[in-house]
Structure 1
Amino acid sequence: MSGLLDGRTVVVTGVLSEASIAFAVARLAQREGARVILTAYGRPTLVARIARRLPQDAPVVPLDVTDESQLASLAEELSAHTDRVDGLLHSVARAPASCLDGGFLTAPWADVASAVHTSAYSLQALARATRPLLSPGASMVGLDFDASRTWSGYDWMGVAKAALEATGRYLARDLGPASVRVNLVAAGPLRTTAARAIGEGGEAFEADWARTAPLGWDATDAEPVARACVALMSDWFPATTGEIVHVDGGHHMVGA
């Protein structure tokens, strides 16, 4: 039986641990037939060690999405392993502590700029860096968290996610003529390394989310999010671009 991603090469950013959404996407992509290449920020040996826990080998290339020299060499680094990129997962977000947990009115511009650069502009930077290898029909998928409302402790990261959503739409517009799709997946709260950086009260937040979401929500299970990402990278959504697909148990559409 063929997989959704048979014959496709997928680049996955943001693997930090087995608990990361990116790891879940990489694992499922391999199970669905893709060849996966991982990128590593700062600690390639750590990512290589985590990669050994995937079903198959996955090469690791260095990438700091805010480093223009590394972006400039990314296509060459990837070319050592593939001559085309069919799927690309953007799973990169970071904000200085000053931008979170009540720091909205006090965070300095330098820290806000860093958050927006890493978490939103990087989607465009990644598309630009990989464009020489993006195949017709390629699909970029970015990980999002509902930016249509405010969230306790999220502060400037919420603004950065709003910028990510707008960036996704403009990329979808500009890459569409090259038959490249760009979509985002807005996940419910999951127990990732990034989530732990945002204040306390996480368990109460997760419990409230699970009670409110019509389908319920399991903050320990990244599989539903990974399935959406893999489906969007497949050829089953050939005419879908510029979308935000919510994988949150339906929480986003329930009123107060």
Structure 2
Amino acid sequence: MLLEGKKLLVTGVLMDSSIAFHVAKIAQEQGAEVVLTSFGRTMKITSAIARRLPQTPPIVELDVTSPDDLAALPDRVREHVPHLDGVLHSIGFAPPGAFNFMEATWEDVATAVHVSAYSLAALAKAALPLMSAGGSVVGLTFDARFAWPVYDWMGVAKAAFESTNRYLARDLGPKGIRCNIVAAGPIRTTAAKSIPGFERFEQEWGTRAPLGWDVNDALPTARACAALLSDWFPATTGEMVHVDGGFHAMGV
């Protein structure tokens, strides 16, 4: 099996339609042992959704903006698994004000960048004591090379996220740890539902993507994440893999 014996930390499981949920499901089906993270009021939601996985995984407390939670992560994870072979970063948030580019306050922007970009480095650093050569960090993005409608400062945060991935690849590569991200097309996740006007992406994507696109199907993206968490890409790092039906390669 693709992930036989792997110990994986998966963040961002909030719905059974989410990419993170499907990554956790595929990982278990492919032989991995999975630990989830959640925090605060969402812990109850994650606990309920976790029971829909093939095996109900343990959940550790982690708010990626909390220095205390980040410092405690290794000990919390060791209560369930002795080490980690991979980490999935599926975390993003921006206040409503961040979706108005010209009017957003620095407080709105700072929150978006902290949660949606800096957290990738924070999570990788927190997990590092548990990881050794051969480990893999995988994140999720919405291709930030372009100025998208309605995405605004979240798009800027994602650009920072993508750059962060490259710097992590530089600094963790000598330790044998790979860092890659998957650029997914629009999927009806919790994060997408919080973006006003996100349906504009949904309307265009299916017609312009040469392979077509199903906004309700997170499985193709989850499979790409699972592959990057496996040993099948041993010499790939700092990469952004598109799983978008080919939309990114098309012109007008």
Q: Percent identity?
A: 58
Label 1:45 to 1:201 Cα distance change in 2 as closer, same or farther (>3 A): closer
2:53 match: 54
Structure 2: which 5+ residue stretches go unaligned?
none
Structure 2 CA distance for aligned equivalents of residues 44 and 104 of structure 1: 32
Match of residue 234, structure 1, among 230, 234, 240:
230
Match of residue 109, structure 2, among 107, 112, 131:
112
Q: Do the aligned partners of 1:9 and 1:86 also contact (CA within 8 Å) in 2?
A: yes
Q: Do the aligned partners of 1:44 and 1:61 also contact (CA within 8 Å) in 2?
A: no
1:164 match: 161
Q: Secondary structure at the match of 2:15?
A: coil
Structure 2 CA distance for aligned equivalents of residues 206 and 111 of structure 1: 25
1:5 match: 3
Q: What TM-score, normalized by structure 2, do the two folds share?
A: 0.98
Structure 1: which 5+ residue stretches go unaligned?
none
Structure 1 CA distance for aligned equivalents of residues 201 and 119 of structure 2: 28
1:19 match: 17
Match of residue 200, structure 1, among 197, 200, 203:
197
2:162 aligned with 1:185: no
2:240 aligned with 1:244: yes
Once the two structures are superposed, what CA deviation does each residue of 1:189-216 show, in whole Å capped at 9, x if it has no partner? Answer: 00111101111360x5313111100111
RMSD (Å), alpha carbons: 0.9
Q: Secondary structure at the match of 2:53?
A: coil
1:76 match: 75
Structure 2 CA distance for aligned equivalents of residues 21 and 180 of structure 1: 23
**What amino acid maps onto 2:121 in structure 1?**
Q
Q: Which runs of 4+ in 1 moved over 3 A?
A: none
Q: Do the aligned partners of 1:25 and 1:227 also contact (CA within 8 Å) in 2?
A: yes
**What amino acid maps onto 1:96 in structure 2?**
P
Structure 2 CA distance for aligned equivalents of residues 17 and 170 of structure 1: 30
Q: Secondary structure at the match of 1:163?
A: helix
2:213 aligned with 1:217: yes
Structure 1 CA distance for aligned equivalents of residues 225 and 208 of structure 2: 24
